């Protein structure tokens, strides 16, 4: 019998990486532009080592890039890494559009019913 070893999903899968709330908060902050880890830590109210671990995960799945500027390392959003998420959620667009169309038709029926009173 083989023992199952849990894989470190967060380091290899975009979906698992963004499932963590603090990582999503980091991505939101980086939408505004590049930031050093110290600034991210201050904004998040977290210790710098914790933020650095989250940034490493986000970098490994292709959501964050970094570059060195003098002695400082700046982290920035690489939104291309979100393509799999965008494509997956886009598959639900038809469902939502149909749901909104049904809701709109229902509201129109209600309005017509009130006008006939």
CA distance readout (Å), 44 to 8, 54, 68, 80, 108: 24, 12, 22, 24, 45
- Stretch 29-43: mean pLDDT, rounded? 96
**3-class secondary structure, 10:** helix
Cβ proximity of 13 and 58 under 8 Å: no
Tell me the domain boundaries of the chain. Answer: 9-115
Buried b (16+ CB within 10 A) or exposed e, 58-75: bbebbbbbbeeeeeeebb
Does residue 83 register a pLDDT over 80? yes
**3-class secondary structure, 6:** coil
pLDDT band at 12 (very low <50, low <70, confident <90, very high): low
> What DSSP character marks residue 72?
E
- Fold assignment, 9-115: Arc Repressor Mutant, subunit A (1.10.10)
What pLDDT sits at residue 82? Answer: 86
Does residue 106 register a pLDDT over 90? no
Question: Of 97, 13, 100, 116, which Cα lies nearest the Cα of 63?
Answer: 13
């Amino acid at each position: 019998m083989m023992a199952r070893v849990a894989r470190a999903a967060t380091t290899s899968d975009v979906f698992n990486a963004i499932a963590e709330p603090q990582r999503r908060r980091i991505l939101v902050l980086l939408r505004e532009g590049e930031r050093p880890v110290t600034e991210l830590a201050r904004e998040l109210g977290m210790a710098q080592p914790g933020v650095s671990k989250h940034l490493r995960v986000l970098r490994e799945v292709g959501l964050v890039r970094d570059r060195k500027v003098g002695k400082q390392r700046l982290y920035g959003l690489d939104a291309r890494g979100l393509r799999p998420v965008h494509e997956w959620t886009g598959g639900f667009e038809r469902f939502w559009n149909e749901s909104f169309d049904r809701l709109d038709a229902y509201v129109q029926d209600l309005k017509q019913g009130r006008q006939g009173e």
